[in-house]
Amino acid sequence: MITRRFTSWGRLEAARAAAVEPAWLDEIELGPAPRLAYGLGRSYGDSCLLDGGTMIDTRHLDRLVRFDAKTGLLSAEAGITLDAILRFCVPSGWFLPTTPGTREVTLGGAIANDVHGKNHHRVGCFGNHVPRLELMRSDGSRTITSSGEELHAATIGGLGLTGMITRAEVQLVPIRSASLDVELIRFENLDEFAELSTESGDGWEHTVAWIDCLARAEHVGRGIFIRGNWAESGDLQPHAEGGPTVPLDFPGFALNPLSIRLFNQTYHNRFPGKSKRLVQHYSPFFHPLDSVHEWNRIYGKRGFYQYQSVVPAAAGIGPVRAMLEAIAAARQGSFLAVLKSFGGVASPGMLSFPFAGLTLALDFPNRGRRTLDLFSQLDRIVREAGGRLYPAKDARMSPADFAAGYPRLEEFRRHVDPGFTSDFWKRMNP
Amino acid sequence: MNQPVYRAAVFGATSAIASEFLRALCEDHEAELLLFGRDESRLEATAADLRARGATCTVRTADFLDFEHDWKAELDGPTWDLFLVAHGSLPDQDRSLGEGAAIAREIGVNFTSQAVIAAACAEILDRQGHGRLAVIGSVAGDRGRASNFLYGSAKAGIAAFMAGLQHRFAERQAIHVSLLKPGMTDTPMTADLPKGPLFSPASKVGRLGWKAVRSGKPTAYLPGWWAGVMTVVRSLPSSVLHKTKL
């Protein structure tokens, strides 16, 4: 066993941990407790890290176990990446039931964080499409859990705390083309966004909006609404491999209010007129940032935070407007501000993040105290609206906000494997 | 898509590079695979993955160190498109060097057994008049270096062996003999080595290996930039090499 460094996507802190790298399902040794399974480290904060413990790196557990070409039910080892699944299934006309903004996550990670995508309003979370999974517990037992069971509900979105997910089933969906019919519509404020979102819910499977988070005054909440449906015909070419890699950490001054404002203005005005229609391959549509490897390095060596919240539909657009105003006033936002309406499909996990309402996700370069102070303001808005934050993105929420946001937390605790923990979990349980 | 079934026999099919090689092969062909390995449960896991990708697989456990084994009889019957010899082990050199039997075992796994199997496969290709034989060697065979010359000398041996087979079949245009030379690869076999930027993922190495074999390359460094690195390593004067920790 070697000790090595593990990172998460925000690069705020790294963990040094003993590395266990199982390669075969039947030969897994979990290593000494406390421990945590690790996929590709795409969680942003500390939920995928366990400093000083044992980390079970699942990258060699990447095999398909079974595929039913008639029903699309896929069974695979937990370390397989969504990238590899898509490469496998797209040529025969299948796709993931939902995909997050990157395909560089593992199947196990997608389940443990119960990830969501642009079609949440239609199909719910990733875990809604995982009928069964296998969990290895500290006592060495391997248990199959099925939807409807408590341990299953604890494991989906359970942040790896109920044991190690070793394999899982996912129900793929048929596609006739690898491309989508896409429409981009510019909106000038949040009321327009709300209208577009309501209007698109029925006719469009995939919806999301990009927000110019540095816009101020009457421009607050302007952005581009993106909606798409799978094309009815076309080829079934999977995404290409490769693409450039960010070769170094950008210096701290590279991202500043001016450069970001310029980027956002250019992006906001990237097409003339009010809207634009295009046919787009799934890769740029769902995974635009995967074309540049290690893009997180543009935030420099101090790393960055992502702040993703959801506020209930009943709270309306007000809390989102208040957050955007606070961010613009603090002049701290960045390129990636994403706003989406979650639908009413019940989340399968006790700690699943989504519920019906509006989710806002933004990247923030780490500027230390200033950034954390802004987050305290945002926390207040989220709290008062009855919302919550996404643990997969978090590096700093308070235990009180976590407990208030996740009413099934006590129920979840009963299923935590005593031999598993994470830096996030330790932070939530000081 | 009306091409005939592609038939391959693979020795050491559970190795990460071989598995990735076969995944890539299955993207190009409807394949019928005979998979040899030491461990049945590992073979079954490998076969399940390839079956899900559309291949038909038969698995057989084998002891590669049984040099008396009649591989020709084992492979008798069908016409083969490809033989892939991929088994190997990475010795703990410091421990092995003190023990003759351990040295013999490492050379046995990494050279002798590969040569025994390659020779049997070559005979079958000779008789068939066509087909491919690929053996996984290593950049470690290019020059003896303090850090891994036990493994490296076995791989140098297999390189010479394959060069000989290539010479023997030089006039036979339908027979292709390839030596694949992966550089440092992130596989379970290298679990105990600290990973640096020179490591490539097994998926990349396996995929490039299949491409090289498909195009009939006699020798392929995987990835290709290792050719440049090894040219430098080979041409370093000993007086310089001996000052490094390579």
What mean pLDDT is predicted for residues B56-80? 96
Tokens encoding A421: 């923990």
CB neighbour class for A369 (10 Å; exposed up to 12, middle 13-18, buried from 19): exposed
3-state SS class at A49:
coil
Pairing of strands B200-201, B185-186: parallel
Compute the distance between CA of residue B187 and CA of residue B208 in angstroms, rounded to an integer. 15
Shortest CA gap A240–chain B (Å):
13
Spell out which residues of chain A touch residue B16, defining contact as CB-CB under 8 Å.
Answer: 23, 60
Compute the distance between CA of residue B136 and CA of residue B161 in angstroms, rounded to an integer. 12
Compute the distance between CA of residue A363 and CA of residue A211 in angstroms, rounded to an integer. 12
Cβ within 8 Å, pair B52-A26: no
**What is the structure's pLDDT at B2?**
55
B49 touches chain A (CB under 8 A): yes
Note down pLDDT in tens along chain A; length 430 residues.
789 999 999 999 899 999 999 999 999 999 999 999 999 999 999 999 999 999 999 999 999 999 999 999 999 999 999 999 999 999 999 999 999 999 999 999 999 999 999 999 999 999 999 999 999 999 999 999 999 999 999 999 999 999 999 999 999 999 999 999 999 999 999 999 999 999 998 899 999 999 988 887 788 899 999 999 999 999 999 998 766 777 777 777 777 777 777 778 888 888 888 999 999 999 999 998 887 788 888 888 899 999 999 999 999 999 999 999 999 888 887 777 899 999 999 999 999 999 999 999 999 999 999 999 999 999 999 999 999 999 999 999 999 999 999 999 999 999 999 999 999 999 999 9
B191 touches chain A (CB under 8 A): yes
Contact B141, B158 (CB under 8 A): yes
Nearest to A64 among B27, B48, B188 (CB): B48
Compute the distance between CA of residue A164 and CA of residue A280 in angstroms, rounded to an integer. 37
B38 touches chain A (CB under 8 A): no
Q: What angle do CA A51, A57, A59 make, to 5 degrees?
A: 150
Nearest to A24 among B27, B42, B53 (CB): B42
Give the domain ranges of chain A.
Answer: 64-175, 179-396
Name residue A38's amino acid.
Y
Contact A232, A177 (CB under 8 A): yes
**What is the structure's pLDDT at A270?**
80
Judged against a pLDDT cut of 70, whether residue B224 lies above it is answered with: yes
Name residue B94's amino acid.
D
More confidently predicted of A241 and B27: B27
Find the helix or strand (DSSP H, E) in which B71 lies: helix B71-74
Backbone angles phi, psi at A35, to 5 degrees: -145, 165
- Which is nearest to A166 in space by CA: A126, A138, A135, A140? A135
A373: left (phi over 0), alpha (psi -120 to 50) or beta: alpha
**What is the structure's pLDDT at A243?**
67
Cβ within 8 Å, pair B194-A4: yes
| B1 — pLDDT class (breaks 50, 70, 90) | very low
Contact A157, A347 (CB under 8 A): yes
pTM of the entire structure? Answer: 0.95
Can you say whether the dihedral through the CA atoms of A213, A339, A201, A276 is positive or negative? positive
Backbone angles phi, psi at B228, to 5 degrees: -65, -45
Compute the distance between CA of residue B87 and CA of residue B155 in angstroms, rounded to an integer. 12
Name residue A410's amino acid.
E
Tokens encoding A297: 């390095």
Contacts of A117 (CB under 8 A, 6+ apart): A98, A99, A100, A101, A126, A206, A286
The CATH T-level fold of domain A179-396 is Alpha-Beta Plaits (3.30.70)
Contact B210, B21 (CB under 8 A): yes
Name residue A355's amino acid.
F
Shortest CA gap A40–chain B (Å):
13
Same fold, A64-175 and A179-396: no
Compute the distance between CA of residue B12 and CA of residue B194 in angstroms, rounded to an integer. 24
Backbone angles phi, psi at B7, to 5 degrees: -110, 125
ipTM for the whole complex:
0.93
Mean pLDDT of all residues in chain B?
95
Nearest to A64 among B41, B42, B52 (CB): B52
Domain A64-175 has CATH 3.90.1150.10: no
Cβ within 8 Å, pair A60-B188: yes
Position of tokens 């406390």?
A: A34
Compute the distance between CA of residue A176 and CA of residue A168 in angstroms, rounded to an integer. 25
Cβ within 8 Å, pair A65-B52: yes
Shortest CA gap B168–chain A (Å):
38
- Which is nearest to A126 in space by CA: A158, A150, A149? A158
A394-405 burial by CB neighbour count: b if 16+ within 10 A, else e?
bbbbeeebbeeb
Contact A343, A356 (CB under 8 A): yes
